[in-house]
Chains A and B, each alone.
Chain A
Amino acid sequence: MPQSADKVLDHAPLFQQPEYKEMLAQKKINFECGHPDEMVKEIGDWTKSWEYREKNLAREALTVNPAKACQPLGAVFASQGYEATMPFVHGSQGCVAYYRSHLSRHFKEPSSCVSSSMTEDAAVFGGLINMVDGLANTKALYDPKMIAVSTTCMAEVIGDDLNSFILQAKEKGSVDTDFDVPHAHTPAFVGSHVDGYDNMQKGILSHFWDKAERVEGAGLNIIPGFDGFAVGNNREIKRMLDEMGVDFTFLSDVSDVYDTPSDGEFRMYSGGTKLEDARSALNAKATISLQEWCTPKTMEYIAGKGQETAALHYPMGIQATDEFLMKVSALTGKAIPDSLKLERGRLVDALADSQAHLHGKTYAIYGDPDFVYAMARFVMEMGGEPVHCLATNGGKKWAKQMEELLASSPFGKQGQVWAGKDLWHMRSLLDTEPVDMLIGNSYGKYLERDTGTPLIRLMFPIFDRHHHHRFPTMGYQGALNVLVKLLDTVFDKLDDDTIIPGETDYSYDLTR
């Protein structure tokens, strides 16, 4: 009997005990009716071949292990970044259970969101009653300052009209007529979570701005975009802007929502963009989006209101941070202070110290479009070579941007761009054209297992490592964090490869 109270065996060692191995072997032989081992091996080898890769890349209908989620997730995330705002998703309730779980598993934090709980009768008659009752219940129970409404695909398919429903609900007294209920249609069958983020941001801003008159001021708006590292990154961006003395407003800031203290009190709401600030953000001189592909419609709307706009690709790495600061400086007239120049110098110093270990290293990178762009760019700054750049939710325009980026550096020569492809495609790519490191999210661990490529987790969602999102990846400080992650991966691999005593450990160097 393997188990004991003294040393409790967890699942991993427990099922490696002889009793269990024998039991599972017998199960396989007697009951499973599986394919012969040789056949499994043969097919396994075939899936690693160029022939399989060609068939795999020729897929037209099937998606396997995509690196994207659906629109409402992004809408919920964007809503949560506003002061005391409850995201309200109109449609089936299971969806909301999924968004909340997904966000909590990444941030290790509460994630509040409600559903209008539509069922079969609502599918037939529409969800008006659900909206009327739902808004009243949400307001009464959770006392939000704003309820931000988005939709699941069910409500979209049956064609529920949010604007009309919300007006009717207000007429029926669900909430006061002047209570803030912005909305956005977020069909799950169009785009991905980054588009849901965009639609909700536009919905919230147009709610506050449509009927207001703009009086141009000197302020600057920042839209961070959908970012799993928002807790660390938003704070880092704000710190840099404070260093510059810029008057700024973050439009959707989840950094306090997804980082509340443990002191005995559960805070359903914490921090976020003040509604008053969101309203007056119309008067800002300009708005910078930190992620172009999270904000195309929002930025178009803002530009239409007369503001200057600039859209970046996730300011991570040296040049991307330089550009961010210079753009802020150009738009606000504030100089970049020496303190930030000093940080930049320290980052360059760190890169110079470690350059030998990263020069010529090859990478596969996947994730949201702006992240992949930034990561590939930063990799090239370190002398690395992006080989596969993949965004399941990247389109043709993104692919063109990526190709231009790769063409701009000798380190981008062997880079290939895979727009709209998934992680089963990536498996074929890694099998046929291997790289030194894979950069992505937790789902990448299956690729690490199947192809032996070390995985670095820098993209949402990260379920199987804790707290990385609390540290920034943007800005010079963030770049330092990213640099250390890459280096640790290189050094860990080097140590793993040289750890056999008397055989490989001549290279098990104390100093590297």
Chain B
Amino acid sequence: MAKDHASGPDDYESLIEEVLEAYPEKAKKRRAKHLTVSKPSEDAPDATTGIASKCDTQKSNIKSIPGVMTIRGCAYAGSKGVVWGPVKDMVHISHGPVGCGQYSWSQRRNYYIGKTGIDSFVTMQFTTDFQEKDIVFGGDKKLAKTIDEINELFPLSNGVTIQSECPIGLIGDDIEAVAKQKKKESGKTMVPVRCEGFRGVSQSLGHHIANDAVRDWVFEQDESEAVKAYEPGPYDVNVIGDYNIGGDAWASRILLEEMGLNVVGNWSGDATLAEIERAPKAKLNLIHCYRSMNYICRYMEEKYGIGWMEYNFFGPTQIAASLRAIAKNFDETIQENAEKVIAKYQPLVDEVIAKFRPRLEGKSVMLYVGGLRPRHVVTAYDDLGMVIAGTGYEFGHNDDYKRTGHYVKDGTLIYDDVTGYELEKFIEKIRPDLVGSGIKEKYPVQKMGIPFRQMHSWDYSGPYHGYDGFAIFARDMDLAINNPVWGMYDAPWDAPETGPAIAAE
């Protein structure tokens, strides 16, 4: 399958122009602002990657165009699906019609330990299942009764969040009043979240609204017993923005603990409400998914004086740099421990790279993911000798694109809120060796004969964080690219150059 390759930056510019040709004038103008090629930068190169490029020349975090097949989701997905859903000992009500909760049920792979349906509720779908009468007469009474029934049938649940679906904000329901009332009656934490799907332009506003709900309905309430009982220590940290997909947070926690740190709260994969409540007692917030949880870190800094820092646990280069950067905030013991942890895992890293790098060296990758991974996984690919041809965010903001300049070289194709059409055309022309994106993109790309990995769910694998996760990541990229199936797409009798079979010497 010989195809044209659009290999260099010049080609990418003309490729963008070519792809935009298909649009009607109004849409073309709007889409042109989201597509670019990263430019050389005057800034000092990043200390870890040695890279400086300019990736923030295009627009982001603005409305998608109707009818173009955006890959984005909604605010509800950002709140229920991402931020709140993984909190395991609370019941999260999908408040409204049945669909939203049904389609998002158990799809994020937020691993947790607990007795599901008894003291943990992550992989369950609780809904008020709105009917026409609820739309006409309002759903507050039904919501109140729903919470009563949850408290009766799931007595060990430690609270309830109300995840608003589109109709709630349109019909004028007062879920905050219901939440206050139910909190008064039951004594349990009640969190109303105004994450109706029509709000904002993507999942992103849902993250922000969910962060604000943590602030208003957890932090700014009376201190719980769990908080009162906690004795803070000098090495207490929170991990913020790790949703424990396929066990990511566990493969991260083990490293932080080996360093001598206490992870008081892990937000929000495998988290309990107590881990959320106690977070303000920690010394430092370590934030992995900046996009979805920077808001609450900024708030904690302002209100409780807790510093925060971004880190990256994808691939050994970034892990080592992150461990050292984290340790710098603590005493020499922790700093020595960080070196010990890095040294301990170095043989594993060497083995993994020795085994997989020769099989992946020079392979090109195109990424299109959410709000963190389009940059955060880049160095992990680099550790395996793989190169990024293009990357983009579903719901990144300008500050994400700015940060991307520390990860990708100039001359990389950048696409924001890419449409199905654009992504297909880019892939067709660039023919990368691997595409990393989501379930909706997986099968079209594979039909084109290009290996694919889902980079939201880790394609049902993982963890990919930490040293243990890096081994799995490397193995997965290898099995995706080097599977024999990609060589079987053409029927042998159709290949024009096929001559008579010649016996091997």
A-side interface residues toward B, CB under 8 Å?
1-6, 8-11, 14-15, 19-20, 23-24, 27-28, 30-35, 39-40, 43-44, 47, 52, 55-56, 59-66, 68-70, 72-73, 88, 91-95, 97-102, 104-105, 108-120, 122-123, 129-131, 133-138, 140-142, 152-154, 157-158, 187-190, 192, 260-268, 424, 427, 443, 446, 450
Task: Tell whether, in the assembled complex, residue B64 and residue A98 are in contact, meaning their CB atoms are under 8 Å apart.
Answer: no
Identity of the chain B residue whose Cβ is nearest the Cβ of A23 in the assembled complex = B254
Q: Which residue in A27, A66, A427 is a CB contact (below 8 Å) of B117?
A: A427
**Subset of 6 A-B contacts with CB under 8 Å:** A23-B254, A68-B98, A97-B77, A135-B67, A137-B68, A187-B132
Name the one of A14, A39, A138, A443 contacting B68, with C-beta atoms under 8 angstroms. A138
Question: In the complex the two chains form, what is the Cα distance from A190 to B115 in whole Å?
Answer: 33
Nearest residue in A to B22 (C-beta to C-beta)?
A141
Closest partner residue, chain B, to A133 (CB atom): B66
How many angstroms from the CA of A5 to the CA of B345 in the assembled complex? 12
Decide: A446 and B116 in contact? CB cutoff 8 A. Answer: yes
Decide: A6 and B199 in contact? CB cutoff 8 A.
Answer: no
Are B66 and A94 in contact, CB atoms less than 8 angstroms apart? no
Besides A69-B102, A189-B135, A266-B445, 5 new A-B residue pairs in contact (Cβ under 8 A), listed by A number: A55-B153, A110-B444, A119-B198, A134-B66, A154-B166
Q: Of B65, B146, B265, B449, which is within 8 A of A62 by CB?
A: B146
Chain A neighbourhood of B275, CB < 8 A: 31-32
Q: How many Å from the CB of B170 to the closest CB on chain A? A: 5
Once A98-B73, A189-B132 are accepted as A-B contacts, the answer to whether A262 and B449 lie under 8 Å apart by CB is yes
A34-B119, A105-B439 known; A134 and B67 CB under 8 Å?
yes
B-chain residues with CB within 8 Å of residue A39 when the two chains form the complex: 156
CB of B440 within 8 Å of the partner chain? yes
**Would A10 and B198 count as touching, CB distance under 8 A?**
no
State the Cβ distance, A205 to closest chain B Cβ, in Å: 24
Candidates A33, A115, A123, A136; contact of B272 at CB < 8 Å = A33
CB pair B166–A91 under 8 Å, yes or no, is yes
Query: Shortest distance in angstroms between A124's beta carbon and chain B's nearest beta carbon?
Result: 10
A117 to B202, CA, bound (A): 10
Q: Looking at the complex, which one of A32, A99, A133, A262 makes contact with B65 (CB distance below 8 Å)? A: A133
Query: Which residues from 38 to 78 on chain B have a C-beta closer than 8 Å to any C-beta of chain A?
Result: 63-77
B444 to chain A, nearest CB (A): 4
Give the distance in Å from the alpha carbon of A73 to the alpha carbon of B118 in the complex. Answer: 31
Query: Given A56-B153, A189-B135, A265-B448, do A112 and B69 touch, yes or no (CB 8 Å)?
Result: yes
The 4 closest A-B pairs by CB, nearest first: A94-B74, A70-B99, A134-B67, A134-B66
Chain B residues in 8 Å Cβ range of A20: 250, 254
Check: B329 CB closer than 8 A to any chain A CB.
no
Q: Mark the stretch among B180-188, B372-380, B385-393, B461-469 that contacts chain A.
A: B461-469
Q: Is the CB of B99 within 8 A of A154?
A: no
Cα separation A446 to B116 with both chains bound (whole Å): 9
Pairwise interchain contact A140-B24, C-beta atoms closer than 8 A: yes
Give min CB distance, A449 to chain B, whole Å: 8
Are A31 and B97 touching (Cβ within 8 A)?
A: no
The answer to whether A70 and B197 touch (CB under 8 A), given A93-B64, A94-B73, is: no
A153–B96 contact, CB under 8 A? yes
Which chain B residues border A108 with CB–CB below 8 Å? 443
User: Closest CB of chain A to B451's CB: distance in Å?
Assistant: 12
Closest to B75 in A: A94
Is there a chain A Cβ closer than 8 Å to B260's Cβ?
Answer: no
**For the complex, what is the distance from the CA of A443 to the CA of B105, rounded to whole Å?**
9
Asked whether B213 is an interface residue with its Cβ less than 8 Å from the other chain, the reply is no
Q: Which of A55, A64, A105, A129 has the most CB of B within 10 A?
A: A64
Which residues of chain A are near B146, meaning CB under 8 Å? 61-62
Is A133 touching B27 in the complex (CB atoms < 8 A)?
Answer: yes
- Which B-chain residue is minimally distant from A123 (CB atoms)? B198
Binds A, one of B120-128, B284-292, B308-316, B406-414: B120-128
Bound CA span A94–B275, Å: 30
B143, chain A: closest CB distance, angstroms: 8
Interface contact B123-A23, CB-CB below 8 Å: no
Chain A: CB-nearest residue to B425: A141
Question: Which residues of B sit under 8 angstroms from A5, Cβ to Cβ?
Answer: 348, 351-352, 354-356, 471, 474
Chain A residues with CB under 8 A of B169 = 123
Q: How far is the CB of B281 from chain A (nearest CB, A)?
A: 11
Q: Which of B5-13, B361-369, B416-424 contacts A (4 or more CB under 8 A)?
A: B416-424
> Within the complex, what minimum Cβ distance (angstroms) separates B344 from chain A?
7
Q: Which chain B residue has the least Cβ–Cβ distance from A73?
A: B99
Report the Cα distance A38→B161, complex, angstroms: 26
Are A98 and B439 within 8 A (Cβ)? no
Q: How far is the CA of A141 from the CA of B356 in the complex (A)?
A: 40
CA distance A37 to B171 in the complex (A): 43
- Write the nearest CB–CB distance from B473 to chain A, whole angstroms: 10
B475 interface hit (Cβ, 8 Å)? yes
B306 at the interface (CB under 8 A from A): no
| A136→B75 CA distance, assembly (Å) | 26
The answer to the question of B480 belonging to the interface, with a C-beta cut-off of 8 Å to chain A, is no
CB distance from B234 to the nearest CB of A (A): 16
Q: Is B197 a contact of A43 with CB atoms below 8 Å?
A: no
Q: Which residue of A lies closest to B136 (CB)?
A: A189
Residue B424 contacts which of A30, A117, A266, A427 (CB distance < 8 angstroms)? A266
A261–B446 alpha-carbon span in the complex (Å)? 10
Q: Is residue B332 within 8 Å, beta carbon to beta carbon, of the partner chain?
A: no
B13 to chain A, nearest CB (A): 21
- Separation of A424 and B146 alpha carbons in the complex (Å): 14
With both beta carbons as reference points, the residue of chain A lying nearest to B225 in the complex is identified as: A33
